[in-house]
Each structure stands twice: as structure tokens, then as C-alpha cells.
Amino acid sequence: MWDSTLLIYLDGGDVEVSGSPTEKAILSWAVKLGMEFDVIRSQSKVLQVFPFNSEKKRGGVAVQRTDSKVHIHWKGAAEILLASCTRYIDSNGVLQPIDEDKDFFKAAINDMAASSLRCVAIAYRSYELDKVPANEENLDKWVLPEDELVLLAIVGIKDPCRSGVEDAVRVCTQAGVKVRMVTGDNLHTAKAIALECGILGSHADATEPNIIEGRVFREYSEKERESVAQKITVMGRSSPSDKLLLVQALRKGGEVVAVTGDGTNDAPALHEADIGLSMGIQGTEVAKESSDIIILDDNFASVVKVVRWGRSVYANIQKFIQFQLTVNVAALVINVVAAVSSGDVPLNAVQLLWVNLIMDTLGALALATEPPTDHLMHRSPVGRREPLITNIMWRNLLIQALYQVGVLLVLNFRGKSILNLNDESREHATDVKNTMIFNTFVLCQIFNEFNARKPDEINVFSGITKNRLFMGIIGFTFILQIILIEFAGKFMSTVRLNWELWLASVVIALVSWPLAAIGKLAPVPETPLTVYLGKPFRRWRTGQHA
């Protein structure tokens, strides 16, 4: 227990132990059995410390007792430390050869591991004082002997899953996120914990290569690791380098990888991953510096929140792009067609500036504040090479843009007769027609913002009351549009519209809702549209190189 800082605070008879979770558990148990830690520690002098090594799965300390005897104590992975033991102390305190009873100890380790207990062995050996390096320089280089150990105890430590972890694993699995467990525990313990947490569905899944030892994985060639990595669910007795190899193999296979870790040795894997998640409480500064996100409560359930918010941000960006492209396509086509055919444009520069304000500022603010929903966790993850604009977005965009362009071009070329303006003066009729086009166009964008909220859902109003900012922006935009039409005619080059024309504008814009609902019933191909559009270019480029 000398290989890390451990302090006992006595307050009203209660004992508090600080240190690593494993050492805290063992020392707390020893104190309950009556061990006087402070007394024992005061009677010993620490000569050399070998900190816990993730590769060797053990840590040791050499101490000199008051009788000048030197003891070298080791603790670490039970089955590994057991292999270095030649004797053990029985219940009567008598030294016994271990060869005949080794199978018994191995069975005990396997039984505890099967019950998801972390097995730690504690052993020691005597050492001659005159063989201990005398000077400080040689003492620092002294390698503690690891052979001919005497087994003192095999301890099973229960590290129960936190409440909510099993639910978090299930939610991640349903969201298409494969949860893999990489641990230094032996394979039996790792398997039991994985079954308890739901990482492994059943005992039938606990077969190689679903469950594998780090030693076996690292012995594969690079190509074999890439193939096996896709199937691995649990890796036991792993070292930090195994974790890094797994991350590299998964990334080479095109996977988007997130890694959790808390130790200094986890830093390379955290840095290599697409998303590194370090622990805020138990995590070391090195791990935190190497990570992208720090989980403040050290709870795996918080990973679900990371996934939800990550998908929400990505989805909100897609919503805004769909909305923005619809506005741009419709405005561009209307003005270009009108300019080419008649030499006059229905939407002037000031009006387009107002449309851009709706699109770039208010629209972005409204759609970017959409909170995460459970629906996001039922989508498949977005691949590394998937396009930002999906086929669903193209479908929605084209439906709305074609509708707006069609209606507004009809108003532009037949508006005077449709609106009964033939009896008006030519200048006034043109102003009313253009104002009607501008007003209808803006209202179409306001109504289309609702459609952009749910690109792949028919009910675009679900959860709308939870986003008060969205409703506030929609209301603010609508009121400003009324003010611009009715009271800022000189500035906007518009005229006032009567209630009938306002009603007609609202009805035309309102049609976008049922149109969007019907359009979402149309299936879209899984292959991205960009693949089809890129085929002629790829054929041309192939012909150039031929």
C-alpha cells in the first residue's frame, strides 16, 4: 500500500481512506479487520517503490522493518502474480508449498471473476539487507525481485455498475453506437461485468473474437487487427497500447471512434480517437489535456448526453442548411426567370436584404436552438464520408422550392388578372403584384421554418412549445413583416395590401405544411444524390487518364 498516497482520517471514530479505488477497498477491509495502519507504517521504512505497471499488471514496494529485515511486497492481477508464487501461508500461519494447491487457487480466482469480482493477489518475499543497494543512485535503479513469492491473500473486489449504466448501454446500442469494453481485468471478470452492464447480450456472445485478450489482439498483423476489431466487444487483460491499437484499427476501417479514459496511459488512445472523453474526478491532468470532452461526474451515462447533443447540433446544422437552400433557390430562380423574360425583377435589393436577414440571422437562431429529442437516438450514426446534405433534405428542399417558384412565377406573369388589377393603373397594379409576391415569399419562408424543424417527421409541431425562442422568433418575424408592408412602403418599395390579399398570402404559405407532409411519404434512395451526380465526372476523368 506504499505505492500511492494513502491517508486515513479519524473523525468521530470513522475512517476515511484516500487513494486509488482498488487500494481504498483493500485497506478499508483491512482496517475493519483490526489492522492499525499508522502503527505498521511507522515501523517500516520504504526503500524502493515500483508503481503499478499496466503492462506487468502489478505494483511493488521494498520496506525495511524495525528488526532490519527487508520484505518486498507485491500486489496485482491474481493469476499473473500467482504464477510467481512458490509458497503460501495457510490459515494457521504456516508456510506451505504452492504447487499442489495451485489449481485450487486458480479455481478460486475463476469463481470470483465469474461473479464479476476484480481479483487482486497480495504476496511478498524476504530479501537480504546486504544485497540492497547502499547508495541513493543505485537504489533508484534497483529492480525489485519478482520471483519466489509467498502468497498472502487473493482478494475479490466488487466494482458494481453504477445505476443507469445498463440503460445507457441499451440507449447507445439502439442509437447504433457499439459499446466496447477494454479493461485490464482478466477475461472472466470482464465477461461477467459486460453481461451485467448489457454490453454482452448473452453468454452465447462471449466467444472469441467477440471477447478477446489484449495479448492475443496485439499479436495479430495489422490487417488481421482491422478485421478482428470490428467484431470485438470485450477485451480483457489489455494494456494501454492494446487500447491504442484497437482505436487505430477501427479508424482505419472507417469507424468514428469515441474513447473514455482516466489514466495517464490512456492519453495516446484519447488523442488518437475522433472524440476523447476523460473523467473529471478520477482523470489525470494528462488524460484531460489529451481529451476533447471532460465528463465531470465520471459517469458513463453522461456519454448518452454527449451523443444526444452531438447529434442535435449536427441535425440543427442540417435543418438550417435545408431552410437556407430553399430560400436561395426560390429567390434566385424567381428573379432570374423574371429578369430574362420581362427585364424586371419582382424582388428588389432591399427586399432580398430582409429575406437574407430572416434566413441567415433569425432563421439560424430559431433552428439552432432546437433541443435534443429521443427521435435523434433512433437514427443510425452518420458515417465519416456521408454528405452533409442528405437525400431527405434534397427531397424536402426541391418540393418546397418548386412549389414556391411555381406559385410566385404564376403571380408574376398572371398576377394582375388573378388579383383583378386590370382596372388599376399600370404602375399601381405592378406595385401591388410585386408586393404580393414579396409578402407571399416571406410568409412561405416563415411557414417553411416549421417544416425545417423535422426534416424526416410528418408531425412538424411535436415539442414546439418547449422551444419558446423558436416561437418568439416566428412571431417577431411575422410582426416585422406586417410593419414593413403596411408602414414602410417607401423604404421597401411596397404598397399596403388589403385583408383579402393578406389572407391569400397566408393561404398560399399554409399549403407548404400539407405539401411537406405528403412529400415525406415519398421514399428516397439510400445512395446519396452526390454519387449519382458525380458519375459523369468520374467517367470523364477516367476517359482523360485512359
Instruction: Check whether residue 477 and residue 336 sit in a common domain.
Output: yes
Look at 1-5, 116-120, 280-284 and tell me which has the smallest mean pLDDT.
1-5
In this predicted model, what pLDDT tens digit does every residue of 405-445 receive, in sequence order?
999 999 999 888 888 887 788 888 989 999 999 999 999 99
Q: Pick from 99, 129, 158: which residue ends a domain?
A: 158
12 pLDDT exceeds 70?
A: no
Instruction: Check whether residue 372 and residue 462 sit in a common domain.
Output: yes
Q: Which domain holds residue 345?
A: 308-536
Note whether residue 11 is domain-resident.
yes
Reported as type and span, the H/E element at residue 345 is none
Note whether residue 151 is domain-resident.
yes
24 pLDDT exceeds 50?
A: yes
In this predicted model, what pLDDT tens digit does every residue of 434-492 receive, in sequence order?
999 999 999 999 999 999 999 989 999 988 888 889 999 999 999 999 999 999 888 88
Q: What is the per-residue pLDDT for 5?
A: 46
Prior bond of 523 cis (ω within 30°): no
Q: How far apart are CA 98 and CA 154, in angstroms?
A: 14
Instruction: Check whether residue 85 and residue 185 sit in a common domain.
Output: no
At 18, which CATH number? 3.40.1110.10
Instruction: Check whether residue 64 and residue 190 sit in a common domain.
Output: no
Instruction: Check whether residue 105 and residue 194 sit in a common domain.
Output: no
Instruction: Check whether residue 325 and residue 281 sit in a common domain.
Output: no
Q: What is the per-residue pLDDT for 436?
A: 94
Note whether residue 377 is domain-resident.
yes
Instruction: Check whether residue 138 and residue 10 sit in a common domain.
Output: yes
Give backbone dihedrals phi and psi of 27, rounded to 5 degrees, phi first.
-70, -40
Note whether residue 452 is domain-resident.
yes
Instruction: Check whether residue 298 and residue 312 sit in a common domain.
Output: no
Q: What is the per-residue pLDDT for 46?
A: 86
Note whether residue 291 is domain-resident.
yes
Q: Pick from 135, 158, 181: which residue ends a domain?
A: 158
Other C-beta atoms within 10 Å of 510: how many?
Answer: 13
The C-alpha cell at 137 is 543512485
Instruction: Check whether residue 28 and residue 42 sit in a common domain.
Output: yes
In this predicted model, what pLDDT tens digit does every residue of 119-157 receive, in sequence order?
899 999 999 888 888 788 888 888 889 889 999 999 998
The C-alpha cell at 264 is 495517464
Q: Pick from 248, 281, 304: which residue ends a domain?
A: 304
The C-alpha cell at 163 is 445505476
Note whether residue 541 is domain-resident.
no
Domain count, the chain: 3
At 297, which CATH number? 3.40.50.1000
Q: How far apart are CA 48 and CA 44, in angstroms?
A: 12
Note whether residue 368 is domain-resident.
yes
Instruction: Check whether residue 149 and residue 172 sit in a common domain.
Output: no
At 356, which CATH number? 1.20.1110.10
Other C-beta atoms within 10 Å of 93: how many?
Answer: 6
Give backbone dihedrals phi and psi of 117, rounded to 5 degrees, phi first.
-95, 140
Q: Is 160 helix (H, G, I), strand (E, B) or coil?
A: coil
432-441 burial, b if ≥16 CB within 10 A, otherwise e?
bbbbbbbbbb
Closest CA to 80 of 185, 208, 2, 4: 185
9 pLDDT exceeds 70?
A: no
Q: How far apart are CA 152 and CA 96, in angstroms?
A: 11
Look at 84-88, 208-212, 373-377, 539-543 and tell me which has the smallest mean pLDDT.
539-543
Instruction: Check whether residue 296 and residue 316 sit in a common domain.
Output: no
Instruction: Check whether residue 286 and residue 365 sit in a common domain.
Output: no
Residue whose C-alpha cell is 397566408: 506
Average pLDDT over residues 86-98: 90
Q: Is 438 helix (H, G, I), strand (E, B) or coil?
A: helix
Greatest extent of the chain over all pairs of C-alpha atoms, in Å = 119
Note whether residue 236 is domain-resident.
yes
